[in-house]
Chains A and B, each alone.
Chain A
Amino acid sequence: MSTEIRHIGVMTRQPTAVESDEVEGPPPSPWDVKRRTVLKAAGAGAAVVGVAQLTASCAAPFDTPVVQADITLKVNGADHALTVEPRVTLLDALRERLDLTGTKKGCDRGECGACTVLVDDRRIKSCLTLAVMHEDQAITTIEGIAPENGLHPVQSAFIRRDAFQCGGCTPGQIMSAVACIEEGHTGSADEIRDWMSGNLCRCACYANIVVAVQDAAQEMHR
């Protein structure tokens, strides 16, 4: 959804400093512009186009309709206050507003699983839900699963078993695998394939992913 708006923004206008609160300092020279900076700046610029300015008071829940909402998302144990349009998906809020770009945007239609995160320890597809619907819930992204020094057992297993090539699906695969193991759906390779079916891998690393999940399940259940 915001993809189209974003690219129109890039093509037609530069965001002003006021609009793009996530870009600090003087504008970078064209040679310094990183892909993320461009996307973020354009996204922030587009977000105000055509939207009536009416912000909700903090009275929760939203018992009268609002067109902008002040919300607090609890992500990886930290609270983040932000103002969003209701149509912003949880995925876009994580990536574009909170800079948590480990969660990937693949199909944006709930088919590929690259956007998988945990909400209250259950795996969900963050592209199929609105940010405004997830106040007061514990959201865990790929950035939040490793201990301070080291890797989560599923991360280690994916490296050890070479369970990826391009890596685009990998954060979603890992989040899904963490939940799959917690749910206890790792009794056999077939069971893992079935219960990991919501995560597609265009490099087709499925065989290695299954082995990595088996490895990690053994370690985590030990």
Chain B
Amino acid sequence: MRAFEYARPTTVDEAVRLVAERPDAGFIAGGTDLLNLMKDGARAHDRLIDVNALPLGDVVEADGVIRIGALARMREVAEHPAVLRAAPVVSSALLNSASPQVRNMAAIGGNLLQRTRCGYFRDAGSPCNKRVPGSGCPALEGQNRLHAILGGSDQCIAVHPSDLAVALLAVDATVLTQGPGGVRRIPMADFHVVPGTTPDRETALAHGELITGVEIPTTPMAANSRYLKLRDRATFEFAVVAVAAALDMSGNTVRDVRLTFGGVATKPWRSLEAEAALRGRRLSGDTIAAAGQALVQGAVPREHNAFKTDLVQRALDGHLRDLGGVA
């Protein structure tokens, strides 16, 4: 690991300044992903600004919103009574992430910024357009069983790994930031970006811009939300396919719905097409199947990951039947 300077400021203004003024500076919160990337040579900083002394750790509910401080740990958020009640999909996604130790360490802001688990990205000896722009993408024709079928480009098909981000997208959350240009509110849908021709750019954040919190509006739909994660082993593993669903029913009819997906796309993936196939319709095996087909309409499967096209539709079917009480 490259040597770096370290500081632990006590104000957000100071933390932002210390990163913004130097191109290779970065923030560290929990450190659970960042330190691995730095050890593996996938990322190098010459200055790390420890944000753990900033007053950003609280989870509060007020005025129809749950505000989660960026430094709240995964465990605290997963166990928080307001989150459990008003956005159970978030709690479930967190409890199905990482290990108990990492959930005690990893912060909510950092969770949204974790980097892909693509083996080519993590191996400093491989070409990777995300790590070294223009160097190529071995995954396109290589080992791509765990890669994306949605949102990819001819430069990158790496999957975004965060369960939390998929859940937050399903409850219409907003990311709060502060940067050199002031404070911003970024809807979750706009926070992560698809790779396109710039796979090294993964979020809407500018250099030196710090996530200060996440807001979840408390709605009837968010209160009726659930997470399903399918993976290669029962626990402590990333998703092969994940579905977050939030459902607002009127009798047997879907009044409103959010359907978001992990494990299949280059960013936390919301399918407006799948939602449209259900909204205003009776929830049934047929309408759920139509939603699944709409979801994978534009899918681009590769040599080893074609199974995800079927698996994500079956996951959606089982999950929506459970959540909506359809036999």
Which A positions have Cβ atoms within 8 angstroms of B?
1, 50-51, 61-67, 69, 85-87, 89, 108-110, 113, 116, 122-125, 127-130, 132-133, 176, 179-180, 183, 185, 193-198
- How far does the alpha carbon of A3 sit from the alpha carbon of B43 in the complex, in Å? 18
Interface residues of B in 9-67 (CB under 8 A from A): 9-10, 14, 18, 28, 30-32, 35-36, 38-39, 47-48, 50, 52-53
- How far does the alpha carbon of A162 sit from the alpha carbon of B28 in the complex, in Å? 40
- A86's partner among B6, B100, B102 (CB-CB below 8 A) is B6
Report yes or no: A124 in contact with B104, Cβ–Cβ below 8 A.
yes
Report yes or no: B7 in contact with A123, Cβ–Cβ below 8 A.
no
Residues of chain B within 8 A of A196, CB atoms compared: 100
The reply on B8 being an interface residue by CB < 8 A is: yes
Report yes or no: B100 in contact with A123, Cβ–Cβ below 8 A.
yes
Report yes or no: B101 in contact with A65, Cβ–Cβ below 8 A.
no
The reply on B327 being an interface residue by CB < 8 A is: no
- How far does the alpha carbon of A61 sit from the alpha carbon of B6 in the complex, in Å? 11
Residues of chain B within 8 A of A183, CB atoms compared: 100
How many contacting A-B pairs (Cβ < 8 A)? 117
- A61's partner among B9, B75, B104 (CB-CB below 8 A) is B9
Residues of chain B within 8 A of A122, CB atoms compared: 75, 104
Residues of chain B within 8 A of A132, CB atoms compared: 6, 8, 50
Residues of chain B within 8 A of A64, CB atoms compared: 7
- How far does the alpha carbon of A130 sit from the alpha carbon of B7 in the complex, in Å? 12
Report yes or no: B99 in contact with A129, Cβ–Cβ below 8 A.
no
Residues of chain B within 8 A of A194, CB atoms compared: 234-235
Report yes or no: B3 in contact with A85, Cβ–Cβ below 8 A.
yes
Report yes or no: A86 in contact with B101, Cβ–Cβ below 8 A.
no
Report yes or no: A63 in contact with B101, Cβ–Cβ below 8 A.
no
Residues of chain B within 8 A of A180, CB atoms compared: 100
B102 CB to nearest chain A CB (Å): 6
Report yes or no: B3 in contact with A125, Cβ–Cβ below 8 A.
no
Report yes or no: B36 in contact with A67, Cβ–Cβ below 8 A.
no
Across the interface, name the chain A residue whose C-beta is closest to B233.
A197
- B35's partner among A67, A130, A198 (CB-CB below 8 A) is A130
- How far does the alpha carbon of A15 sit from the alpha carbon of B18 in the complex, in Å? 36
Residues of chain B within 8 A of A130, CB atoms compared: 6, 28, 31, 35, 50
Residues of chain A within 8 A of B5, CB atoms compared: 65-67, 86
- How far does the alpha carbon of A62 sit from the alpha carbon of B9 in the complex, in Å? 7
Residues of chain A within 8 A of B102, CB atoms compared: 110, 125, 128, 198
Residues of chain A within 8 A of B7, CB atoms compared: 62-66
Residues of chain B within 8 A of A123, CB atoms compared: 100-101, 104
CB within 8 Å for A61 and B8 given contacts A1-B39, A89-B35: yes
Across the interface, name the chain B residue whose C-beta is closest to A67.
B5
B220 CB to nearest chain A CB (Å): 31
The reply on B236 being an interface residue by CB < 8 A is: yes
The reply on B204 being an interface residue by CB < 8 A is: no
B234 CB to nearest chain A CB (Å): 8
Residues of chain B within 8 A of A116, CB atoms compared: 101
The reply on B1 being an interface residue by CB < 8 A is: yes
Report yes or no: A176 in contact with B6, Cβ–Cβ below 8 A.
no
- A129's partner among B9, B105, B234 (CB-CB below 8 A) is B105
CB within 8 Å for A110 and B1 given contacts A129-B105, A132-B6: no
- B6's partner among A69, A110, A185 (CB-CB below 8 A) is A69
- How far does the alpha carbon of A202 sit from the alpha carbon of B101 in the complex, in Å? 19
B20 CB to nearest chain A CB (Å): 14
A-B pairs, 6 with minimum CB distance: A198-B99, A86-B6, A65-B5, A197-B236, A1-B1, A61-B8
* Cross-chain pairs A/B with CB under 8 angstroms, 15 sampled: A1-B38, A62-B7, A63-B9, A65-B6, A65-B7, A86-B6, A89-B35, A123-B104, A125-B105, A128-B35, A128-B105, A129-B32, A132-B6, A197-B235, A198-B102
Report yes or no: A124 in contact with B36, Cβ–Cβ below 8 A.
no
Residues of chain B within 8 A of A65, CB atoms compared: 5-7, 18, 47
- How far does the alpha carbon of A195 sit from the alpha carbon of B9 in the complex, in Å? 34
The reply on B4 being an interface residue by CB < 8 A is: yes
Report yes or no: B99 in contact with A63, Cβ–Cβ below 8 A.
no
- How far does the alpha carbon of A93 sit from the alpha carbon of B48 in the complex, in Å? 18
- How far does the alpha carbon of A65 sit from the alpha carbon of B38 in the complex, in Å? 19
B231 CB to nearest chain A CB (Å): 12
Residues of chain B within 8 A of A66, CB atoms compared: 5-7
B21 CB to nearest chain A CB (Å): 10
Report yes or no: B36 in contact with A110, Cβ–Cβ below 8 A.
yes
Across the interface, name the chain A residue whose C-beta is closest to B14.
A63
- How far does the alpha carbon of A87 sit from the alpha carbon of B102 in the complex, in Å? 19
- How far does the alpha carbon of A197 sit from the alpha carbon of B18 in the complex, in Å? 38
